[in-house]
Structure 1
């Protein structure tokens, strides 16, 4: 049975004068997915997210949110209530307290009492700002402000969350806190589209990724499928003995596609095409050849390596 789609676009195109920001884009995001959008600056990620959030009119093409079409030249109020959109430059009102800021947006979304107060408490607890409810926004750290922005984005319980570079400029601890909140929302079944330059965060959060280049969606797949197709396995091997002897032994194995010595170490990074059985055979043969191993472990190329490889392929 086919999965329900939270987002579907057909031939989505956005042109600014002579600049084509998004070109003939077909995108599908299943309900409940966390979809990561990757691409360099100028790839069209923000324009795409703005169109999905009904903040930007497409030049041509169609957008469907949970099966309902986003109508051009309409305000789409019912659809917008189902969306939560966090742009990378949304202003906070520094003079307001945390509680008053959230209460203001809850009233804009027409949340009635007692649900409104209950929702404010729940959301502040989720973003770990309950202790700051009476603090002025001006006194918050950057990470707290970003968590407050997320709270404002989900106050009305949207079914689709659109996050544009939400961890930009945050320190590692603030990024980790933000990541943990996204995981809670994912477990609650919310569909999330998130763009980020921090690919390690996306690899940890996402079920699927899309890669954009110059307005085109050049790749869209589950993370699992992307790793299976594009991530080469590597084996890291280190020895106490001669690197020449280790290299000579590596050259005897058909599953070894190549290797490189990590400069200044006794460590070799092996490009390996085999599976678990072949790597066990390689380990046994190295031991049998008397190579004094101190390290032997398998890794996979990460999302960043895949992205750079794909980008290089597009450029060549």
Structure 2
């Protein structure tokens, strides 16, 4: 049923003068999810988000938001009010104060005066800018400006948030602050689609991810399923100067595929196909072989590695 999905697209396609930017995409996002959209520049992420925000007309295909057909005409104005869209290049009005800027957009959404004042206070507190309400926007840092843009995007209390590269150019602290806000919005029940090149942020935030290549949605799955299916288990090993003996022991283990030397001295990264019990058995065998281990811990390949691996598969 379409009502089960916050976003559902069917054959969604966009052509620009013979170039296909988005190609026959069937996308499904459940309510309450944080869905990460990944792909290189030119993959079609921004065009897809613009169509979902009703800022771009599809060449063909259909979009449903919470079960209702999304059209760019005036047939369903209430539906567009359920959307919050933050493009990657939305301008700020540098000569306004923070409060006046938000109030301007609150008026555009026809919030009545009592609701408007309460809502401005709520969003300023959420984005941690309540002490900047009288500040001129031009005096804000880049991170503050981006949080202000997010406040403007949610001023009308949308239930679906579309964010196109919201952390681009932000320093690690500003990205952390932004992630905290996104988590609060998710906990409040909002569905969020977010595109980003900072895959570590998406891995921390998202419940599901979609990977785009050349206009196609080549992968769409929950993050846990993606890790289970495509992420190899790895073991980081360290030893006190008995590297040759360690490598000899690894060759004798059926679950060890390959390994590589790490930049730090006497450390290896091992690609391992076994289960937890097999990891424990490997550790026991190394100790019994009297190899002086300084480190032994299991990790999974991260989202960036999965993305690069899928990109390589597509290219070949």
TM-score (norm. length: structure 2) = 0.98
Superposed displacement of residue 113, structure 1 = 2.4
* Aligned 8 A contact 1:36 1:210 in 2: yes
Task: Report the counterpart of residue 155 of structure 2 in structure 1.
Answer: 155
Whole-Å Cα distance in 1 between the matches of residues 238 and 136 of structure 2? Answer: 55
Q: 1:237 to 1:2 in 2, by over 3 A?
A: farther
Task: Report the counterpart of residue 13 of structure 2 in structure 1.
Answer: 13
* Aligned 8 A contact 1:238 1:266 in 2: yes
Whole-Å Cα distance in 1 between the matches of residues 57 and 2 of structure 2? Answer: 29
Whole-Å Cα distance in 2 between the matches of residues 162 and 2 of structure 1? Answer: 19
Task: Report the counterpart of residue 24 of structure 2 in structure 1.
Answer: 24
Superposed displacement of residue 263, structure 1 = 4.0
Secondary structure of 2:310 counterpart: helix
Secondary structure of 2:148 counterpart: helix
String of CA shifts for 1:94-137, please: whole Å, max 9, x gaps.
11110011011111111112111001000000000000001111
Superposed displacement of residue 3, structure 1 = 8.2
Superposed displacement of residue 73, structure 1 = 4.5
Within the alignment, does 1:292 sit opposite 2:292 as a pair?
yes
**Which has the larger displacement, 6-15 or 267-276?**
267-276
String of CA shifts for 1:211-252, please: whole Å, max 9, x gaps.
000000000000000000000000001100321100000111
Whole-Å Cα distance in 1 between the matches of residues 143 and 136 of structure 2? Answer: 15
* Aligned 8 A contact 1:179 1:201 in 2: yes
* Aligned 8 A contact 1:179 1:205 in 2: yes
Map 1:40-79 → 2, pairs under 5 A: 40-74=40-74, 76-79=76-79
**Which has the larger displacement, 263-272 or 278-287?**
263-272
String of CA shifts for 1:123-177, please: whole Å, max 9, x gaps.
0000000000011111111100000000000000000000000000111111111
Within the alignment, does 1:193 sit opposite 2:187 as a pair?
no
Q: 1:19 to 1:236 in 2, by over 3 A?
A: same
Whole-Å Cα distance in 2 between the matches of residues 195 and 74 of structure 1? Answer: 28
Task: Report the counterpart of residue 280 of structure 1 in structure 2.
Answer: 280
Task: Report the counterpart of residue 130 of structure 2 in structure 1.
Answer: 130
Whole-Å Cα distance in 2 between the matches of residues 75 and 129 of structure 1? Answer: 36
Q: Which runs of 5+ in 2 are unaligned?
A: none
Map 1:256-275 → 2, pairs under 5 A: 256-263=256-263, 265-275=265-275
Superposed displacement of residue 74, structure 1 = 4.4
Task: Report the counterpart of residue 228 of structure 1 in structure 2.
Answer: 228
Task: Report the counterpart of residue 141 of structure 1 in structure 2.
Answer: 141
Whole-Å Cα distance in 1 between the matches of residues 2 and 272 of structure 2? Answer: 36
Superposed displacement of residue 80, structure 1 = 1.0
Q: 1:203 to 1:9 in 2, by over 3 A?
A: same
Whole-Å Cα distance in 2 between the matches of residues 148 and 269 of structure 1? Answer: 43
Q: 1:87 to 1:72 in 2, by over 3 A?
A: closer
Number of matched residues? 316
Q: 1:65 to 1:2 in 2, by over 3 A?
A: closer
